[in-house]
Structure 1
Amino acid sequence: MKMVSMKNLCIHFLCVLGCISSITSIGNSSDGTTDGSETWGYIEVRPRAHMFWWLYKSPNKPKHSTKPWPTILWLQGGPGSSGVGFGNFGELGPLDVDLKPRNSTWLQKADLLFVDSPVGTGYSYVEDESLFVKTDVEAAKDAVTLLKAIYSRNENIVKNPLYIFAESYGGKFAVTLALAALKAIKKGELKLQLGGVALGDSWISPEDYVLSWGPLLKDLSRIGDVALNQSNSLALKIQQQIAEGQYVNATDSWADLESYIFDSSNGVDFYNFMLDEGNDPNILTTKASRTFGKKPYAMVSETDGNDLDSVMNGPIRQKLNIIPSDIEWGGQSGGVFTAMEGDFMRPRIAEVDKLLSKGVNVTVYNGQIDLICSTKGTEAWIKKLKWDGLSSYLNMYRTPLYCDGDESTTKGYFKSYKNFAFYWILGAGHFVPVDQPCVSLEMVGSIVNTPNT
């Protein structure tokens, strides 16, 4: 089965780019629940470029505690995947895709801020396609503008540390945003305390990930020697293109490599290498096989088959009551990826190094059975860090992780040195909070130092 170019996928989810010339601009606006537990709104981060955000206040915050209560900013991948949709309802928000309470919501450990970034993602939109960002740095600039607006109007959260959590391509957004935020904080333009950055299964070094795919799948008996040799050849071609700064060509070659691996492995699931594509039993199961371009990726529920697209363009849209009538959730996502294809394969290891050198707490966590952002690839780019604590970190033993006090089953491993930490999450694929919710929640509490409730 021949795959359609992966550039049309945006890794998680793409919808066809709609006509945007007639979109109605609403400028800055906001709304929320009557009890103040939720607020949401639009910020015009640039003229005719509108970013949507949604903030949840945690009911677990101690009423009389003087300790700061953390806020988690969640950045989704793609580029073009919606944090307000995928991260919120698909992974860690208070409600699941069936709009039922999620027992493992991260709201137990922190306030949650979801954004649809870059502009054009999810409910965010641009009035002209020329306004899509083309680089991670441009996306970070818009996100800082958003944070300035949110924090300037809400004094209650200024004293609370902000932790930037990311998944997949969102990791590249996270490190560039963190650096841009630090710069704005230093200039006095942004009143915010940056608590740290957490990179979950993040596309920090595309080179190291593509180089890992062939050897990893060969060790798992998923491909044979002939396919291994061809996969390695394509990966080396990508490595050379990246070295020469040919990032658009590298994106094209990445699509070719994914297509080849999919075909030669008889349809391995890139988000869980233990499965075939489409057989994932959890909430992130796809509705279509990996024939991209015919149908978009979609999240569906485990129970009655609700899909995220219908939920976001139906009951959630009605609840929010500020989405312009001519905006469809995910309607511009394809344009986001296309605009960024020249930055997609650019590494961001140097940005991680800069954060570490500035004393920022950086945590990396990775699902054991993820292929797209494999643990093997993550460990490879970590070893390229110039951070002065790297040697000491690499020579440390790992500590096993359990959950709910049950030490009969190992759920993961952990080690840290100074301001860097790594979590290996066993039994999890690309979507760690979904596959291993218990140990993920305990990990989050440790990262953000949630006060006792």
Structure 2
Amino acid sequence: MGTTKCLIFLSVLGFVSLVSSIENRSNGTPNGSEAWGYIEVRSRAHMFWWLYKSPNRVEDASKPWPTILWLQGGPGGSGVGFGNFGEIGPLDVNLKPRNSTWLEMADIMFVDSPVGTGFSYVEDDKLFVKTDVDAATDLTTLLKAIYNVNVTLQKSPLYIFAESYGGKFAVTLGLSVLQAIKEGQLKLQLGGVALGDSWISPEDFVLSWGPLLKDVSRIDEVGLNKSNSLALKIEQQLADGEYEAATNSWSDLEGVILLYSNNVDFYNFMLDEGNSPVIAKTKASRHLRKSYAKILETNGPDLGSLMNGPIREKLKIIPANVTWGGQSDYVFSAMVGDFMKPRIAEVDELLLKGVNVTIYNGQVDLICATKGTEAWITKLKWDGLSTYLNLGRTPLYCGKDESTTKGFFRSYKNFAFYWILGAGHFVPVEQPCVSLEMVGSIVNSPNKH
């Protein structure tokens, strides 16, 4: 499919005025509250983005209004679909207003990344990215096209928020953005990076699964021994650089966990598989662990029908031969060699460069368990680690109600950690109140209470 190269003007009322020699496929709402479009990040590789303006936006030069860039997991998960309608956008999958939308605290940009995810697509299967770094390069190209011609966005500090595998994209993107800024290629202020239940160190997560489930009585000694055996095999494969083999063993380990736990939910170990309220609301299947994009064909509204139906009609610029999620499986397959690689060193480098790094984790998540997150944090070479680990934690509540503890918080210098109680993998949905307050604090929103 060919694309027309020409100057484009996007949106109205000055919110997103974008002029670029990129492909001419863009649109927005008449009042300027939303804008969306495609950027050709490489020849015949097209990335889709969607930007929302917060109704609470405050124009204050002394306290700039922030922008959140949301990166979904998978790899192959659609931020434009799942993150937007399933988690933090203004509307839910029933197109009803979401009371806990993060737009209360910031503008939000959703991106379908890597190319092939959601509404993003490639015209040649050879163009799928194979590494986290390649994905970050494409995202940086997109940000250059959008930010370098937009003074309003340049004044708005960008906070990269990620969920699940998106955390690996976030830290590699953060470093790529810093380099582009240093070289004068990108006009952007990086406010920080926030890693939500993020797959930063696969080794530490798989090693945590068996012991965690045994401690909460979800597996027995036999299941623990079989789980630990496979986890140690993965550890050795990673040490030997056998990353694709480690990915295959990871899949085998998930099967063992499911067998000996009687199908525990990987997104909430208090539930059985498929009972997660987030999965139920979006009708997403078990394959969500790999792509976020498979949809169960069940009665009632589901994310696939929504995105390929009314949302597609609203956007008006999706090519006729592109289906939302149609290439997502290929995205995961192309990255099989990078899937199990750790990105702890990238977190260290961000901290060294003075970037604000925040981690938040749901208490009952299994796939990216807090136990595993705490394990990889101890591997940081950051010079503030020892002091951080010896600090006390501050309890978190929902608003002024201090009758129930909703979480804990600890920070030192440019590193912070939020423990969110009662939440699984999808923190913004399962604990919306404390999550929203957390976001306000992270992005230093003028609207935070």
> Where on the TM-score scale, by shorter chain, does this alignment land: which range?
over 0.9
Instruction: After TM superposition, give the deviation of residue 29 of structure 1 in Å.
Output: 2.1
Contact 1:278/1:287 (<8 A) preserved? no
Distance 1:442 1:412 in 2: 11
Cα distance change of structure 1 residues 358 and 300 upon mapping to structure 2, 3 Å threshold? farther
Return the match for 2:233 from 230, 237, 254.
237
Cα distance change of structure 1 residues 169 and 290 upon mapping to structure 2, 3 Å threshold? closer
2:254 partner SS: helix
Residue 305, structure 1, aligned to residue 300, structure 2 = yes
Letter of the 1:409 counterpart: T
Contact 1:90/1:284 (<8 A) preserved? no
Distance 2:206 2:403 in 1: 35
Distance 1:347 1:282 in 2: 27
Q: Any residues of structure 2 matched to 1:240-255 within 5 Å, and which?
A: 240-255=236-251
Contact 1:300/1:306 (<8 A) preserved? no
Cα distance change of structure 1 residues 161 and 296 upon mapping to structure 2, 3 Å threshold? closer
Residues 41-94 of structure 1 show CA distances to partners (whole Å, capped at 9, x for unaligned) of 000000000000000011101256652100000000000000000000000000
Distance 1:66 1:29 in 2: 35
Moved more, 356-365 or 304-313: 304-313
Contact 1:79/1:336 (<8 A) preserved? yes
Cα distance change of structure 1 residues 289 and 203 upon mapping to structure 2, 3 Å threshold? closer
**Uncovered stretches (5+) of structure 1, i.e. residues with no partner:** 1-22
In structure 1, what is the equivalent of residue 114 of structure 2?
A: 118
Residue 177, structure 1, aligned to residue 173, structure 2 = yes
Return the match for 2:409 from 386, 408, 414.
414
C-alpha RMSD of matched pairs (Å): 1.9
Instruction: After TM superposition, give the deviation of residue 232 of structure 1 in Å.
Output: 0.3
Residue 52, structure 1, aligned to residue 48, structure 2 = yes
Residue 134, structure 1, aligned to residue 130, structure 2 = yes
In structure 2, what is the equivalent of residue 6 of structure 1?
A: none
Distance 1:354 1:55 in 2: 29
Contact 1:369/1:427 (<8 A) preserved? yes
Contact 2:281/2:302 (<8 A) preserved? no
Instruction: After TM superposition, give the deviation of residue 281 of structure 1 in Å.
Output: 3.1
Distance 1:264 1:247 in 2: 26
Distance 1:94 1:315 in 2: 16
In structure 2, what is the equivalent of residue 167 of structure 1?
A: 163
Distance 1:260 1:177 in 2: 34
Letter of the 2:165 counterpart: Y
1:178 partner SS: helix
Letter of the 1:298 counterpart: I
Residue 257, structure 1, aligned to residue 215, structure 2 = no
Moved more, 404-413 or 23-32: 23-32
Cα distance change of structure 1 residues 72 and 235 upon mapping to structure 2, 3 Å threshold? same
Instruction: After TM superposition, give the deviation of residue 278 of structure 1 in Å.
Output: 1.3
Instruction: After TM superposition, give the deviation of residue 291 of structure 1 in Å.
Output: 8.1
Residue 148, structure 1, aligned to residue 175, structure 2 = no
Residue 334, structure 1, aligned to residue 317, structure 2 = no
Q: Any residues of structure 2 matched to 1:36-75 within 5 Å, and which?
A: 36-63=32-59, 66-75=62-71
Cα distance change of structure 1 residues 439 and 317 upon mapping to structure 2, 3 Å threshold? same
Cα distance change of structure 1 residues 307 and 408 upon mapping to structure 2, 3 Å threshold? same
1:174 partner SS: helix
The percentage of counterpart residues that share the same residue type is 75
1:199 partner SS: strand
Contact 2:287/2:294 (<8 A) preserved? no
Greater RCO (CA < 8 Å, at least 6 residues apart): 1
Distance 2:359 2:245 in 1: 29
1:314 partner SS: helix
Return the match for 1:322 from 291, 303, 317.
317
Cα distance change of structure 1 residues 228 and 283 upon mapping to structure 2, 3 Å threshold? closer
Distance 2:67 2:297 in 1: 28
Letter of the 1:195 counterpart: G
Instruction: After TM superposition, give the deviation of residue 25 of structure 1 in Å.
Output: 4.3
In structure 2, what is the equivalent of residue 194 of structure 1?
A: 190
Distance 2:283 2:445 in 1: 37
Contact 1:283/1:299 (<8 A) preserved? no
Distance 1:145 1:243 in 2: 33
1:331 partner SS: coil
In structure 2, what is the equivalent of residue 215 of structure 1?
A: 211
**Uncovered stretches (5+) of structure 2, i.e. residues with no partner:** 5-22
So what's the TM-score if we normalise by structure 1?
0.91
Distance 1:43 1:358 in 2: 29
Residue 427, structure 1, aligned to residue 447, structure 2 = no
Distance 1:284 1:372 in 2: 18
Letter of the 2:199 counterpart: W
Distance 2:156 2:285 in 1: 43
Moved more, 24-33 or 108-117: 24-33
Letter of the 2:72 counterpart: Q
Q: Any residues of structure 2 matched to 1:370-389 within 5 Å, and which?
A: 370-389=365-384
In structure 2, what is the equivalent of residue 4 of structure 1?
A: none
In structure 2, what is the equivalent of residue 362 of structure 1?
A: 357
Residues 102-155 of structure 1 show CA distances to partners (whole Å, capped at 9, x for unaligned) of 000000000000000000000000000000000000000000000000102322
2:405 partner SS: coil
